[in-house]
Amino acid sequence: MTPAAENEIVLNLFKECDALLQGHFKLTSGKHSEWYFEKIRLIEKPAALEKIVDLLAAKIRREVPDFEYVVSPAYGAIAIGFLAALKLGKKFAFTSRAVIVEDILTTGGSIQEVLACLREHQVAVAGIYVLVDRSAGSVPIEGKSVGSLLALKVEAFEPDVCPFCAKGLSITKPGASDKKG
């Protein structure tokens, strides 16, 4: 499968989950953005999530031949890491050699915490994989490259230069309201 074809499939699966929302959103940073990932939606539709994780597992299988465990940050990515471990025939916890699986990479903070934890337990990291890299490769994690199913640089704007504010579009603060799922 070409990367573009894979991107298209992944995008459609995220839309199928209602996990990728298009509109005008106020991010935690205070910036405004056209796109928002509603991570919690991923685990609400296990059948769609399974298809996404199948693609991720296939990628990991191709790229990392030798590891024992899949490790994920709490809490959102646990279901995803567990499912990936199941598909890859690996254990899900800590040991000497592991692959980290996360849902969405934005700042890399959760992955840094897992890396610190693994270092404390003398666990070597064989690879870091995310479903969506919102930094599109711009967040380096301790010099390790991050594999993603979908690299999507999401532009975020300060309110005074936001093109959607300029158009007078109403804004959604994700998490502040219980939107349709």
Binding site for Zn ion (CB under 5 A): 32, 162, 164-165
Residue 141 vs 165, nearer CB to Zn ion: 165
Residue 61 vs 179, nearer CB to Zn ion: 179
Judged by DSSP in three states, 129 sits in: strand
15: enclosing H helix or E strand: helix 3-16
Judged by DSSP in three states, 148 sits in: strand
Residue 33 vs 110, nearer CB to Zn ion: 33
Give the strand order in the sheet containing 32-37. 20-26, 32-37, 156-157
As measured in angstroms, the least distance from the Cβ of 176 to Zn ion is 15
As measured in angstroms, the least distance from the Cβ of 157 to Zn ion is 6
Residue 12 vs 22, nearer CB to Zn ion: 22
Residue 60 in tokens:
């990991």
As measured in angstroms, the least distance from the Cβ of 18 to Zn ion is 22
Q: CB within 8 A of 61, min separation 6: which ones?
A: 88
As measured in angstroms, the least distance from the Cβ of 180 to Zn ion is 22
